[in-house]
Amino acid sequence: MENRSAFLRCRGGRAGLAVCLALIFFAVAPAHSDPFEICLPAPVRHEAAEERPMTVETPDGRISGTLAAPAEGSPRALALLLHGYTGSRNEIPVARGEGMFARTARAFAERGIATLRIDFIGSGRSDGKWADTRFSSQARDATRAATALRERFDGLDASLGVLGYSQGGLVALRAAAADNPFDRLALWNPVMDPMTTYSKIFGRDKILEGARQHDQGTDTAIVDGTRLRPGFFAELVASDPITDAAQVVVPVLIVTGRRDPLVVNGKALATEIEAGRTAGTTILDLDAGHDLGAVREPEFLDKVIACTAGFLLADHTR
What count of other Cβ atoms lies within 10 Å of the Cβ of residue 240? 15
What is the 3-class SS of 225-284, one letter each residue?
A: CCCCCHHHHHHHHHCCHHHHHHCCCCCEEEEEECCCCCCCCHHHHHHHHHHCCCCCEEEE
pLDDT given at position 20: 40
Distance of alpha carbon 203 from alpha carbon 59, whole angstroms: 34
Crossing angle of the two packed helices 194-202 and 230-238, in degrees rounded to 10 = 150
pLDDT tens for the 318 residues of the chain, in order: 333 333 333 333 333 444 344 434 444 434 446 777 767 888 898 878 999 999 999 999 999 999 999 998 899 999 999 999 999 999 999 977 789 999 999 999 999 999 999 999 999 999 999 999 999 999 999 999 999 999 999 989 999 999 999 999 999 999 999 999 999 999 999 999 999 999 999 999 999 999 999 999 988 999 999 999 999 999 999 999 999 999 999 999 999 999 999 999 999 999 999 999 999 999 999 999 999 999 999 999 999 999 999 999 997 533
Plot region of 226 (φ>0 → left; ψ -120 to 50 → alpha; else → beta):
beta
